[in-house]
Structure 1
């Protein structure tokens, strides 16, 4: 009991153990179930095939019996047909009653002495009489109501109303008529006549009638001898599916069997000259075996209950179920024992990582013990990684501090301190060698999707990994937007510098491929000793600034910037600056582009500081020029120059800054043109307002309007005519005539009064203008209007 309690406690507190037991049990159950299922169905198929083979043997014997019986009856028919005792019964036209009686008596004895004969019937075609059972029957006296149904069934044959063949067995009934719905076939009849081919009406016929029980008794005897106990039934059927034997079969059974045999959808399997299928007959599943009898187109059919055939298999199935249940019980116990055995390492591991034997893993947010161990392992691994990272970080901080000190204060460090510094920090540089320094500046625009510190870290790792294969070197992030690569070299030959350049190109290709990152490199000349590192570092910082000329993806050597650093020019020439200002004011884009090309060519030759100063000065010049242009404009130019300041702050190249200037000047040109259009619109509107307000003044003229606008009369007249397609004078006349028409409605005003009110002093001039405008004189116009 103590072991059971201990087992129960361990099982209920261990989730993984439970899973193992359940998994082993399920696998065992599935395996046994699959085996039992496969065994059952395979056995079922084998038993059916074996039973069909046994049925085939019996049916072959039945077929042989039918063939043998057919031959015996044929031989007997031939012997009787040509028997001298019987021939007078068939062919005589006259009758001797006593002689006929004796002859029929002999045939009666023959029937009684032969076990399978039912009767012998002779039909005399000449006298149209039947001789049977020692009696004579006239043809006209036979009817369906007679007790002897056999003779009545011969009438359709003799009258050729039904098809029949010579010397072939056909089913016949002695108790019912053949045209009944359910004729009772209890004998087989074989007919023989004189003609070689078809029966001619009026011929004499010999009918040999055979008992069907003789064949059935033989079949039953075969079943007993074969040891079969399958409760099977035999049927003899014709090709149309009509059951010939046994006659006692229920009509519904006959119909169902006939439908299955004739149905095209019935799937029949073949084996050993026989066919078989399973079907539901009379509400029960049956095995049906069929074989051709080779006689009269008959088929021999054997029908057996499926249940009786499978009785042994059902016993095996029940035994399998019992064995499976017992085996599962045993396997369940074994599964628990095996699981406990397999669980021991996990149990020990749980104790090692801190899980006690009584607590549930779920209490620590774990699915099971394995998940608990995994979580514990990951936690310890993460803590260890944090400790290693902290340790490495501290070591790197110290290392970065001393490397930065070396680059900034190398002239103050003595050789002993330098060696000790390299040893303490495990730097990958030589103490007594020459050096090459490379300053790498990352283009911030190419790494906006990455953290700046992460991009510097990635670049530094790729640089070190690439250069470690060929040189002793150290890479350090100076935390000022660039990295420094310090390389120890054994010689200062061109081959060494070429190798360094090739490695830098490889680094660029790798970084661009993985991160899409661009960076500029400034490389120093070989440095003799470590004491020059500070001076060369400052020089490289200045050289790196010239990426504004060569681009952010360039590699810059000291000789590439030597002329710029020596150039003492402080800016662009005043003449070029003045030409640019004039081109801007004239809005001449072609000249602006030429002047910009000249200016930036001058900028590219300056040293870096003067170059930047000149760029800011150029922005101020443009701003001042725009301000001057706005002094005399009705609509001021409002273009922003912030994009130029942004270009300088983002450390774009000279080419990119030049393109930004060109875009600014293009926008400026468009705004000037738009401003001109707006100015013309304002001018025309103002002229129209002056005319509308002063049309009564007879001294109003183009010169007066120009004076009011402080513009030349020629310019005002040209602008107005270009906009309105008429002169200022014509427009004044249009306005005055419009007001005259309005005054016409007031009959208190004379023509002269109206003329003076709209600013005309000459009456004939007024009449001429009015008639030109309206095609009539003012007086006539007023009269017509009054009539209307």
Structure 2
């Protein structure tokens, strides 16, 4: 009762642990019992297979011996020395001696013959080869004659092995084999030769095969058709033989019978003992049985069961001890937590200490939930006023805003100055499509807390989630611009490392008063949108885009758009690439709104040019014309847009070129232009150039060689070396720096090419030019 009371005590988590432990104990016990049962079945099947193999070998031995005896008996029955013993009324002495000598010779020549006897039906005399006939006063002779002439089983069969016992017991003294001039049963009116075979020849072969002679207490038996059981006369009988019980076992219809070979395997009782019997039909109507004590066979299983139960009990006791120890160890923090919680509970009455932990924690949760709601309400109010400061502060005076900062404990210095920073998520449309709502919520929480933690180390600040694609920081007090940029860079680095978030930051100009926060916020947000120009994760200040803001150009010049359209329609890739380069150079200097509008106009220009090409040709372009105006929506920086437009123009020009000759010239000019534009790229090669123009390397190489008389690699080296020569004359950079600027990474290779072309090394060339 005490154990049950402890189990149902307030320590709920301990009860869980104990329940798991008890369940595991029951499972272990069940597994142990199941394992023992399966092991016992396995031992039975293995023992059955082994016994059947042994009995099959014995059957073979008996069959083999029977064949030998048949041949030997036929020879003996027709032997001239034995015929007088069988049929002479008055046996001459010499015939008597010759007959005995011949029987002796036969016994010597056969290892399995025990003795021989010749029966003369005329005289009723029995002549035997055994010395027992001579020295035991005729006892053996009388026993054999009695068995031969007055057998209890009736007539004796001929030409068949017959178990024979001198003392009418279950022990077999030998196997008798009677030979007459017919195959009918023996009658006293027939002379016969009787061969007596040693029983050991059968039983010992079985003993050696199955290890019976090595300590196994199994018993080998032969059962005749009349139900009599015989065993080896020289073996010690270890089990009582119950002939009726054994007969019933091997004849039961529901026993485990062997099928076509007449074999079987049964377990039952014989003489009050549980035995396992394996049987197999042998020669004629015999049945060979191998009887074993079931207890001894299953001794190993019993030992295994005892060991399993002992081990299971030991493990259960060990698990109980460990579970109790673990329960106290694991329950320690919960108990300590309860000790800290209980004194602070509002309803800390006597019943609170008798309830389980979950009830106590539920009460604590309800109390904390109420407090959190109060805190959350305060947080909502704080966020409301911070957002109002940024987006709509016209209804608040400077003094009202300063009082709100003090009332709601905002982490801002009311007297300023104030700097507003906007953190904007890069590639927001793509981010919004691929990110789940739960992950977005996590990211917003992470950005708000990480930014606040990092910035609060150095500044008085507040951060607000403005929803959609950006967050806004308000920094107050005197501060250096470089310090702000370093802190913002730390925030960007942490968010990219742990959350794979890329943010661009716009830093507005300092606002001396709270009433100017709104203008500073809109300025910082506009600056963050200039990531289209400055790239991802940029930190953008007003000075970085001042040139753009001062630029009054609203659109691309008409001649740029016209030349681009004509180049596309004529399939001139070089001209269209040049015009694109010029267009994007102009775009990079425009204001944001003008830049976006001009990009959209250029997309429509390219679409219209592609449509004109399609209308003037039988075949259509493979380019999806309808998607061209949507191209600016898929890319977020000028560099990305430039590459996308260049790829689009390349595809259009490739299909719009007028002839193969002009096409070849276009490819060659494109290769040259790529080499002049990218000669400083270490990875620039014939393969990369071919990949850029979307042709095979071998085709581009052959086309260039046929047209220019030198390979692409030779032309590339020529451009790089001439550029290196120019830099050696104009710049004070080291030779290694110049080598890297023109695209060489291996100094020895660069020196070898330079000397081969100009007759001197770069160093010697620079010295000669400086002297001259």
TM-score range, shorter chain: 0.3 to 0.5
TM-score normalised over the length of structure 1: 0.42
User: Which protein has the larger Cα radius of gyration, Structure 1 or Structure 2?
Assistant: 1
